[in-house]
Structure 1
Amino acid sequence: MSSENEKPGGGADGGGAEQLALIRETVRKAKVPKAKPRTWRGAALAKGLPVARVVVDKGGVHLDRYFDYAVPEELDADAQPGVRVRVRFGAGARNVQGGRREGGGLIDGFVVERLAESDYSGPLAALASVVSPERVLSPEMLALARAVADRYAGSLADVLQLAVPPRNARAEAKPSPEPPGPPPVPDAGTWVRYGNGSAFLRALAAGGAPRAVWTALPGATWADEIARAVAATLAGGRGALVVVPDGRSAGRVDAALTALLGEGRHALLTAESGPEKRYRQWLAVRRGSVRAVVGTRAAMFAPVEKLGLVVVWEDGDSSHSDDHAPFPHVREVLELRATHDKCAFLLGSTSCTVEAAQLVESSWAAPLVADRATVRAAAPLVRTVGDGELARDEAARAARLPSLAWQAVREGLKSGPVLVQVPRRGYVPRLSCERCRTPARCRHCSGPLEAPDERDLKCGWCGRGEPQWRCTECGGVRLRAAVVGARRTAEELGRAFPAVPVRTSGRDHVLDSVPGRPALVVSTPGAEPVAEGGYAAALLLDGWAMLGRPDLRAGEEALRRWIGAASLVRGQDEGGTVVVVAEPTLRPVQALVRWDPVGHALRELAERAELGFPPVSRMAEVLGRPEAVEAFLTSAQLPPDAQVLGPVLMRPSEPGRARRPGDPPVGETWERALLRVPPGSGSALAAALKTAQAGRLARGGGDPVRIRVDPPDIG
């Protein structure tokens, strides 16, 4: 018997279908409430891309990653990739790689990108504020900074601190001018003196990307030659970047560009400009209003639009190596830019470093040199005086200047100024044994002995007197000044030539130029002023002291300093003469006499290849207290082909001496280990050092350890 609910011939499905239709109709007519907007602590978030990926301004390598933050709705328009922001680091911020909390408080950062969602599933902290809507970090600069950080085992935040200057609100408020049109292609000028000089300029104007190592001829034309290379690049519709070692060199290139192109076509980025002007110039470059930049070391990261040429002048100058982590070198950074941006590269100097020679030997760059006849005509005559001759010379014993030098000074003063290069500034000399040249050191602490008043000896470290000194090597009791300072030399020359004005140029007071009238100009290396019409003669004193430094680059550096000074002297055709007081048989001295810096660099490169020294190999320095260095080396997973040299004790810092970055604190003993790998393993070494340092910092505690890849001084 059937149920009363069943329909004839239908069963239960008939009523079920009617009920389902009724439910569907009811749902269709019902008012469905809208979804609530996403919020963070009650505040609405941005629609579409509510997540900002941020690189925070925390330099430790253990924090070298991006962090995700929520974007409040009111910051949506301004929080675009590339802008500066303030974030609360550690109060809800989640790390992209695992969601850990780090640190605390408000810190600065840059938005890298905007995302629809985060890789982290939990709640995100919100951006605290947008410092400025100005997009100062471009994707190209971010990629370059990441490449530099990886090469030098550093953090991205440290590189960005070097690459992006501090904000100046007044500079940001001023609009940048409209960019000028391309200038005409310049004529080759003095580039015709070089074998492929004219062809190099034509390639730049045509949009090519030639790479060259340029050995510049002596004289003051190098600034104009760089300006013509920049003008040719601008004529092709691209930008150019020139990095020089100091403000004086930047001023010369600035003047040459202004004379060639006029005002408004290039920016000058140096510390002398002041923060507001420098940032305004930098913004003009970032906004594309200016496409040519001349500057010192920090300008290597300048965001030039459509970069077509990078130039580094005097790459052997120590100013090109940054003293802040991760210690990048201008030459290496510009090589990275030339590779990433596929632009032209020009490394120029009157001398030649071993690294420059390697670029040519590896065919990464081509040589840009003049023929020997042109070099001989442009270079001065170089004469030498050895230590043996100096010891027998009555004039030298009286005033440390040999007869040949006196004669060169007298003849030079008849027609113009004479340059005297002294290896150090100041008055207090370092002393050494007159017989065997062993440095005079304190019996108590091994510090250097000094004679500030030329009578009483005392230690430069502990200050103890040394009334009865005797050489520990040969038993000699007579001392000589290893290096007499510029002030002392100026006094001696002033007494010898009382009718001639004497000027000094050094660290405290650097002259930019001097008139072409007869005068004696005493200068420390690198501070030589330019003389109007060139110097008539030059004396390069105490060459053995420069060559005797315990440094792998001592010979290369001495030759670079000598050639830099001699390049300011008139050519042989005009009677220019240079006298160098150094042993004539030494390789750097012979290279100076022949004016062959390239040949010297190639021979140095061959020797370093045989011994496994940089730049043929890659090397890193680990510096710290002995127990910290030992623990670091034990924990680091170095490449299999890595070789550990040392550790060795570092000499304590001298009291009263200006400390350099990385010097051990006064009174503390630190150790240094050198890690060496063959070609091709440099990236693996940097990655291993960075990983070990990150793990060490993450664990916390312990003494600091400094890492420096490709240290400039491995003596």
Structure 2
Amino acid sequence: MSEARPARAAPSAGEGRRIARVLIDSPLPQLDRLFDYALPETLGEVVPGVRIKAPLRTAGRVVDGFIVEIDVEPDATRTLSEIESVVSPTVVMPDRLYRLARRAAERAAGSASDVLRLAIPKRQVRVEKAWTPVEETIEVDPDAVTRAHEVITRYEGLAEVLAQSGRAAVEAIPVQSGSEPGWATLLASAAARELADGRSSILVVPDYRDQELLLAALEKLVPAAAIARHDARQTNPDRYRAFLRTLDEAPCVVVGNRSAVYSPARAALVAIWDDSDPLLAEPLAPYVHARDAALLRQEQEGSALLLVAHTRSTDVERLVQHSWLREITASRRVIPNVRLSTPQELERTISQRVPSSAFATARAAAADGPVLVQVARPGFAPTLVCASCRHPARCRECGGPLGARRRGAVPVCGWCGRSAHSWRCVECSSDQVRLASSGTERTADELGRAFPGVRVIVSDGAHAVQHVDGRPALVVATRGAEPVADGGYRAVILLDGARMLQAPELRIGESCLRWWANAAALAAPGAPVHLVGVDGPVARALATWSAAAYARSELEARMPLHMPPTARFAQLEGIPASVRGALDALGGIGIPADAVLGPVPIDEEGRVRALVRFPYAAGQEVADTLRASVVADAAQSRRGRGRQRIPLSVHLDILEPDI
């Protein structure tokens, strides 16, 4: 059912004794190493990769762990604890999974057990006992293989990359095939091609919306028995059942979110959709981005790697410039019909949210089918300001921003939820407020009155809509929550662009370009896409569909400042003594003082934060040094029992430096 290295035969009395090298499942950094345990004869034949229970003398208790290696020790006089029991004979940690977890942890100055906790779900006894391995070959319909081949040949050089297990950055064609977007059809076709040749694939997407679209595309090409769904919304039994399926020798297609990149399937292809989506950044230690884990996996296992998107992240563009990724575009490129605001419309944007040209386009298109209107925020009016002096309206209790849930409603604090009755401005004492921005609900309310008789559909975090039919409708959605329309939208209106670009983030330009391009890709062929109130490089990159050129210009601008991804960044947080000790250790390996930003205080508990920038060539040495500092700090904390100590935390490759 699963891969396991053959265990050595039990040694005779003259050969020594069997020992197991065990990885303890513990969050303590000082325990992130292999421990030697004796294997009692009563356990019989034991293979690497199984779950076990073993005593931990330093803690005085029995802990969970995984056997990594089994060896024979000639010297049987060394005192060793014995493994207490084998939890299950199922090999849930193949050697390739352990090596990937260890490599990812080493690069990020983290623990392998933290990575394995993301990859291996908790054991479900009933599921494991009832599981029957899939051993027969999965047959793919020849017609499906033909259709998949047709899709792949639309991209120049893609078939060669798949055949040679290469690495590529693929610009997805912004078209729809029925109710599935072009990127989903591409990923499904690549997986079907591999499955037809008896090989597995891992397809990683940011969220459940993308996962549902990809599954719908896969169901048209591959048998259901070949699909292993990796989903945080699954029940524990379903997730464990899907995990066991990836351990089978029979090939499969794994579809899931960021942690699916660690699937133990013997994958010949790993593909990631929209790598710059922040949902692909792991929020748990050791914070390894799915893209970085996929790159490590490709280097370690030799699988093909596809990073597919409508736009180009600066991280991927850096790899393209270093010839680490091959650039793949369509043989015949398709560019959406993007229309930018005229100079006169740009001047009127403040007073006129939807210019007359976009309004006329929406009115004409709404008579034929659905029209998409993208806005920046959900709700009715996310923020309010004083009607007289424009000072932000704040809660008198906690200082949080006030917003309105519907027209004429009493303002409500966005932090504490209190209603702001009898509110007065602290600057001018006015008791009148006005809307500073409009959310999905207010936009829907305004458009509903402007387009009587037309359906208005809201799609945001509180109103999840996956799909709309081809009937006339106005679909008001936040960025990333746009549903797919049958046949594509007859028009797309992108509002609040100037407000989006004002966010104080390093990557806001490429983020906006990604939001707008993904929305524009949902338009029907030739349908107009209006970007309202925005000009400059980002708008021109969208209109000319030249995200790669924009990413190159961003890299050139960041190079003199050594900002990511032109250099790697490490973020250190902890008490001043711990952070200073780690910085001194980095100085000892040659990291100059001018590469350190901070430390600066970050909270009332006395914690401070520092940022360290360093070249990629010094990455492993920096990671090893920081890991040693974390272990030393944890050991010192353990010696100081009775005092609650704030641990030193390290986060490498942060997306947004914050100091």
| TM-score of the two chains, using structure 1 as the length reference | 0.80
How far off is 1:636 after superposition?
A: 5.4
Within 5 Å, give how 1:197-596 maps onto structure 2: 200-201=158-159, 204=162, 207-219=163-175, 220-305=181-266, 307-370=267-330, 374-376=333-335, 379-384=336-341, 389=345, 392=348, 397=351, 400-431=353-384, 448=401, 450=403, 467-470=424-427, 481-572=435-526, 576-584=527-535, 586-596=536-546
CA distance in 2, matches of 1:555, 1:683: 30
How far off is 1:64 after superposition?
A: 1.2
CA distance in 1, matches of 2:503, 2:279: 19
CA distance in 1, matches of 2:443, 2:605: 35
Q: Of residues 551, 560, 565 in structure 2, which corresponds to 1:615?
A: 565
Q: Of residues 646, 652, 657 in structure 1, which corresponds to 2:598?
A: 646
How far off is 1:169 after superposition?
A: 1.4
CA distance in 1, matches of 2:612, 2:76: 38
- Corresponding residue pairs, total: 626
Q: C-alpha deviations, 1:496-543, integer Å up to 9, x for none?
A: 223111111121332111001011111111111100010111222211
Q: C-alpha deviations, 1:13-65, integer Å up to 9, x for none?
A: xxxxxxxxxxxxxxxxxxxxxxxxx9xxxxx9999643211100112222211
CA distance in 1, matches of 2:390, 2:296: 44
> Is 2:337–2:543's contact at 8 Å kept on the other side of the alignment?
no
Q: C-alpha deviations, 1:68-127, integer Å up to 9, x for none?
A: 1222222132x321100111212xxxxxxxxxxx32312210011122228896422221
Matched letter for residue 615 of structure 1: P
> Is 1:45–1:70's contact at 8 Å kept on the other side of the alignment?
no
Matched letter for residue 375 of structure 2: V
Q: Of residues 114, 121, 128 in structure 2, which corresponds to 1:158?
A: 114
Indicate the SS of the match to 1:578: strand
Q: 1:498 to 1:705 in 2, by over 3 A?
A: farther
> Is 2:346–2:534's contact at 8 Å kept on the other side of the alignment?
no
Q: Considering only CA atoms, is the larger Rg found in Structure 1 or Structure 2? A: 1
> Is 1:382–1:592's contact at 8 Å kept on the other side of the alignment?
no
How far off is 1:460 after superposition?
A: 5.1
CA distance in 1, matches of 2:13, 2:445: 74
> Is 2:120–2:243's contact at 8 Å kept on the other side of the alignment?
no
CA distance in 2, matches of 1:61, 1:327: 15
* Worse overlay, 438-447 or 495-504: 438-447
> Is 1:193–1:374's contact at 8 Å kept on the other side of the alignment?
no
CA distance in 2, matches of 1:476, 1:457: 14
> Is 1:639–1:681's contact at 8 Å kept on the other side of the alignment?
no
> Is 1:88–1:127's contact at 8 Å kept on the other side of the alignment?
yes
Matched letter for residue 546 of structure 1: M
Matched letter for residue 506 of structure 1: D
CA distance in 2, matches of 1:285, 1:449: 49
Indicate the SS of the match to 2:49: coil
Match of 2:3 in 1: none
CA distance in 1, matches of 2:534, 2:386: 18
Indicate the SS of the match to 2:23: strand
Is 1:708 the counterpart of 2:643? The answer is no
> Is 1:211–1:346's contact at 8 Å kept on the other side of the alignment?
yes
CA distance in 2, matches of 1:46, 1:227: 56
Query: CA-atom RMSD, angstroms?
Result: 3.3
CA distance in 2, matches of 1:691, 1:284: 37
Q: Of residues 93, 99, 102 in structure 2, which corresponds to 1:137?
A: 93
How far off is 1:708 after superposition?
A: 0.9
Indicate the SS of the match to 1:193: coil
Matched letter for residue 441 of structure 2: R
* Worse overlay, 599-608 or 446-455: 446-455
Matched letter for residue 84 of structure 1: R
Q: 1:229 to 1:438 in 2, by over 3 A?
A: farther
> Is 2:596–2:612's contact at 8 Å kept on the other side of the alignment?
yes
How far off is 1:612 after superposition?
A: 0.7
Match of 2:7 in 1: none
Matched letter for residue 412 of structure 1: A
Is 1:606 the counterpart of 2:556? The answer is yes
Matched letter for residue 621 of structure 2: A
Q: 1:550 to 1:175 in 2, by over 3 A?
A: same
Q: C-alpha deviations, 1:118-154, integer Å up to 9, x for none?
A: 8896422221211100011111111111100001110
* Worse overlay, 269-278 or 331-340: 269-278
Matched letter for residue 689 of structure 1: L
How far off is 1:470 after superposition?
A: 4.4
Match of 2:64 in 1: 108
Q: C-alpha deviations, 1:406-430, integer Å up to 9, x for none?
A: 2222111011111111212223423
Indicate the SS of the match to 2:117: helix
| TM-score of the two chains, using structure 2 as the length reference | 0.87
CA distance in 2, matches of 1:470, 1:455: 23
CA distance in 2, matches of 1:120, 1:491: 79
CA distance in 2, matches of 1:293, 1:408: 41
Q: 1:256 to 1:449 in 2, by over 3 A?
A: closer
CA distance in 1, matches of 2:589, 2:284: 26
Q: Of residues 621, 624, 629 in structure 2, which corresponds to 1:687?
A: 624
Q: 1:210 to 1:489 in 2, by over 3 A?
A: same
How far off is 1:223 after superposition?
A: 1.4
Match of 2:6 in 1: none
Could you tell me which runs of 5 or more consecutive residues in structure 2 were left unpaired when the two chains were aligned. Answer: 1-9, 176-180
Q: Of residues 3, 6, 26 in structure 2, which corresponds to 1:58?
A: 26
How far off is 1:649 after superposition?
A: 4.7
Q: 1:517 to 1:670 in 2, by over 3 A?
A: farther
How far off is 1:261 after superposition?
A: 2.5
Matched letter for residue 254 of structure 1: L
> Is 1:55–1:66's contact at 8 Å kept on the other side of the alignment?
yes
> Is 1:413–1:518's contact at 8 Å kept on the other side of the alignment?
yes
Q: 1:254 to 1:212 in 2, by over 3 A?
A: same
CA distance in 2, matches of 1:390, 1:445: 37
Is 1:675 the counterpart of 2:612? The answer is yes
CA distance in 2, matches of 1:144, 1:268: 21
CA distance in 2, matches of 1:254, 1:495: 37
> Is 1:543–1:580's contact at 8 Å kept on the other side of the alignment?
yes
Matched letter for residue 374 of structure 1: R
CA distance in 2, matches of 1:484, 1:504: 13
> Is 1:189–1:225's contact at 8 Å kept on the other side of the alignment?
no
Q: 1:647 to 1:310 in 2, by over 3 A?
A: same
> Is 1:80–1:114's contact at 8 Å kept on the other side of the alignment?
yes
Matched letter for residue 375 of structure 1: V
Percent pairwise identity: 38
Indicate the SS of the match to 2:185: helix
Is 1:179 the counterpart of 2:130? The answer is no
Is 1:597 the counterpart of 2:552? The answer is no
Matched letter for residue 228 of structure 1: S
Matched letter for residue 220 of structure 2: A
CA distance in 2, matches of 1:103, 1:448: 48
How far off is 1:632 after superposition?
A: 4.7
Q: C-alpha deviations, 1:153-176, integer Å up to 9, x for none?
A: 101111111121111112212212
> Is 1:470–1:477's contact at 8 Å kept on the other side of the alignment?
no
> Is 2:585–2:625's contact at 8 Å kept on the other side of the alignment?
no
Matched letter for residue 200 of structure 2: G
Matched letter for residue 618 of structure 2: S
How far off is 1:345 after superposition?
A: 1.0
Matched letter for residue 553 of structure 1: R
Q: 1:254 to 1:46 in 2, by over 3 A?
A: farther
CA distance in 1, matches of 2:386, 2:538: 24
